[in-house]
Amino acid sequence: MTRRPFFRLTLAACLAATGLASHAQEWPSRKPITLVVPFAAGGSTDSTARLLAERLSKELGQQVIVDNKAGAGSNIGSAYVAKSAADGYTLLFATSTIATNVTLYKSMGFDLRKDLVPVSQVALIPNVLTVNNDLPAKSLQEFVDHVQKKKGPVNYGSAGSGSASHLSGALFNSMAKGDMQHVAYKGGAPANTDLIGGQIQAVFSPLVEVMPFIEGGKLRALGVTTKARSQRLPNVPAIAESLPGFEVSLWNGVLTPAATPPAVVARLATAIQKVTQEPAFRKALSDQGSTPVGNGPVEFKKILDQEIDKWGNLVKISGATVE
């Protein structure tokens, strides 16, 4: 290589590095950041996203605005972000649903592994097995026995085919070798309404959605789907204590378009990590039954790859389909 071409290559590399550093220093001074929530406003995911946006605004010195783009099991909002400008100003607040959808849908409208970059997980959320108060089974082990010995009909409701509540129930039924019947609803709220009313016998709901019913005595909590017990319900066993190996952990986290400058991704991850360490933020999540995470891009990517495989297997076990 002659000196002139070598000099040009070196200069180009220096200019590129300078450009990235300059962009990272400038970001996010130019305009507000949009945090897209691919679910309707008012739900548990939306609430957590708004909690994060409020604190990120202070940490980054720039307003972070939540924009709800619901539909197609989160695919509409996720695809919108995947196709947005990769400048750090459009972010996705995703949930474990996005990993499930890789197997559940023939086409998501984007390629999760290629079109989006994981930044940081924000929280882990357990599902909790709740039953109607009239069900004879008063404990987790009694419920497992009830299902295994088919002592009576057990219809379990879910937020829809392929939802986390559906997959949790399907895995439980498979491991218990039971005969539970799945009843799909258009959301968790109507499923829990029918559970309270006695039309169905069980639901595996996100803890944050049913804590008021548990605390109010309208539903009985028998087990959580995470590997360990929840600090929010320390007296409620993990389902794995009766069915070893059972685990379904929900999560949420932030992703960006794939070509977002690494320096911007790194700065954003650092900001999220700081927020997840704030006592007030941690308490707010703990009150919901969630556990703060705040990992980095490399770790989150490794987890996401594992989650795509895990949720894919659960979809196959459940036989879930999207109409």
Whether residue 237 contacts residue 140, with contact meaning beta carbons closer than 8 Å, is answered with yes
- List the domains of the chain with CATH numbers: 3-125+250-318 (3.40.190.150), 126-241 (3.40.190.10)
pLDDT tens for residues 171-199?
Answer: 999 999 999 999 999 888 999 999 999 99
The pTM score is 0.86
- Give dist(CA 35, CA 46) in Å, integer: 10
Query: How far is Cα 32 from Cα 30, in angstroms, rounded to an integer?
Result: 7
User: 17 falls in which pLDDT band (50, 70, 90)?
Assistant: very low
Are 120 and 270 in contact by the 8 Å Cβ rule? The answer is no
23 pLDDT exceeds 90? no
Residue 19 has pLDDT above 80, yes or no: no
Q: How far apart are the first and last CA of the chain?
A: 60
Whether the per-residue pLDDT at 26 is higher than 60: the answer is yes
- Percent of the chain at pLDDT > 70 equals 92
Confidence label for 44 from pLDDT (cuts 50, 70 and 90): confident
Average pLDDT over residues 238-262: 96
* Percent of all residues in the chain with a pLDDT value above 90, rounded to a whole number: 83
